[in-house]
């Protein structure tokens, strides 16, 4: 299976955050891991899926355990 990459603009649209937010997260060392290839920033789809899984919450104090995912209206705290 080929590794899928998405750019900053696509990720910003996907998560409904600004590109500046993604840039700030990279500077602060928060958010998903990224690749910098020849000056171009891209994100691997598999890394985004892992990050999104880590952000799942049942409440502000309770993480969702692996394998116990369920659709809910909760947003990951990183979107706040």
Residue 60 has pLDDT above 90, yes or no: no
User: What pLDDT, on the 0 to 100 scale, is given for residue 61?
Assistant: 83
What is the rounded distance in angstroms from the CA atom of residue 34 to the CA atom of residue 50? 12
Name, in order, each residue with C-beta under 8 angstroms of 76's C-beta and a sequence gap of 6 or more.
52, 55, 56, 57
Residue 78 has pLDDT above 80, yes or no: no
């Amino acid at each position: 299976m080929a590794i899928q990459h998405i750019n900053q603009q696509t990720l910003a649209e996907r998560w409904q955050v600004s590109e500046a937010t993604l840039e700030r997260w990279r500077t602060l060392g928060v958010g998903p891991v990224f690749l910098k290839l020849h000056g171009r920033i891209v994100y691997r789809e598999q890394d985004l899926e892992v990050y999104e899984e880590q952000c799942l919450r049942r409440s502000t104090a309770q993480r969702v355990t692996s394998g116990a995912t369920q659709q809910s209206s909760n947003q990951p705290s990183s979107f706040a």
